[in-house]
Structure 1
Amino acid sequence: MLARFVTLPLIRAASPTARIAGCKLSGMHYSTRPVKGLVETDECAIPVQPTWSVNDLLSSYPKPSISPAKLKHLHELSALLPPEEGSAEHAILTEEMQDLAKLVEAVRLADLHELAEEGVPDGRVWADGIGIDLKDQDGVPALEDEVRGRDLLTWAPRMSNEMYVVETDKRRK
């Protein structure tokens, strides 16, 4: 089979930036990191293969085992039906859950004492330079026709002790 090669012309822009084969070239860049070995790259200097993976980082942690009873319990907590024990789906799901448990354990064991801060950090995300209004919901005036708080229970078809009652189809065995 013959391969066809296409030569792309050099496109010069008004700025010193040029594009060759869709790659942006804006000057020379040098890394100060020590080179462990050569990595094969494409014409844009992007590695052809990944240079690291989460699996490589987690390989030093022991893999926790999840018993069939534990997997069934997790399904019950999630209101899901577990796959048949001994099936291929059960084996795949057990393997995936063990990998997730390994990742969670690795995060839990991370030493963060150097990063200790007072209080709980604000995990909300907003644009730079724009804050979030931190008023309580109680401090926000309600609209005239807006139903709030315990008044919402009046719309529930069934309730008990000021709590919503939800019927479930699943019968516990």
Structure 2
Amino acid sequence: MSLPRLQIQRLLGQALRRPCVTQKRLNSSTDSSVKTDSCGIPLEPTWSVKELLSSYPTPSISPATFRRLHELSALQPPTEGSPEYNSLKSELEELVKLVEAVKLIKIEDTGDGLIPDGRIWAEGTGIPLTHTSNEGEETCSDQGQDLLSHASRTSDGMYVVEADRSR
């Protein structure tokens, strides 16, 4: 026995207007200080990178290291003790803290020393990440010699390019 089409549309309309999760049920299982919409999605972020990094110690960059970083970047460092110097040094220290925090993340070792392919593929498909030479396949040097046949001028297996030597 099937429902008439109009009844199905009414039932669907009622279901779509109904809240996804009631506030009372959601708050009973999670932190009540987090404000959520009717579907249980937080209205504000529940955590931040800055908050997470605040638990890590802030590294200190020495003035010599600060000057060396500027030398390597071919930049003139600001005068030591100036507001620009202090601001830039603070920003660099925050970046170092972020890098150190990322380095603490444990990555699962596959055991074979290779970087795992992070792409998502259907099971049994994908692009081979290593090149295997098949017997009978031309080598790179053979292909290069074939390309020479298309050049307008060659000499001893090399391309010939005319250049203006008057300069």
Q: Where in structure 2 are the equivalents of 1:91-106 lying within 5 Å?
A: 91-106=86-101
8 Å contact 2:56–2:101 — kept in the other structure?
yes
Cα distance between partner residues in 2 of 1:28 and 1:49: 18
Cα distance between partner residues in 2 of 1:131 and 1:75: 44
8 Å contact 2:59–2:96 — kept in the other structure?
yes
Cα distance between partner residues in 2 of 1:87 and 1:102: 23
The percentage of aligned residue pairs carrying the same residue is 37
Q: Where in structure 2 are the equivalents of 1:23-172 lying within 5 Å?
A: 27-28=20-21, 34-42=29-37, 45-77=40-72, 79-85=73-79, 86-110=81-105, 112=106, 115-129=108-122, 130-136=125-131, 142=140, 144-145=146-147
Contiguous gaps of at least 5 residues in structure 2: 1-9, 149-160, 162-167
Count of residues in Structure 1 that have an aligned counterpart in Structure 2 = 129
- Shift in alpha-carbon separation, 1:128–1:40, aligned structure 2, 3 A: same
8 Å contact 1:64–1:101 — kept in the other structure?
yes
Cα distance between partner residues in 1 of 2:17 and 2:147: 59
Cα distance between partner residues in 1 of 2:116 and 2:100: 22
TM-score, with length taken from structure 1: 0.50
Deviation at 1:119, TM superposition (A): 2.9
- Structure number with the bigger relative contact order (C-alpha 8 A, sep ≥ 6) is 2
TM-score, with length taken from structure 2: 0.51
8 Å contact 1:71–1:82 — kept in the other structure?
no
1:18 matches 2:13: no
Contiguous gaps of at least 5 residues in structure 1: 1-11, 147-154, 156-173
Cα distance between partner residues in 1 of 2:53 and 2:60: 15
**Larger strand proportion, structure 1 or 2?**
1
Aligned residue for 1:18, secondary structure, equals: helix
**Larger helix proportion, structure 1 or 2?**
2
RMSD after superposition? 4.3
Please say which structure displays the higher CA radius of gyration. Answer: 2
Letter in 1 for 2:112: G
8 Å contact 1:126–1:132 — kept in the other structure?
no
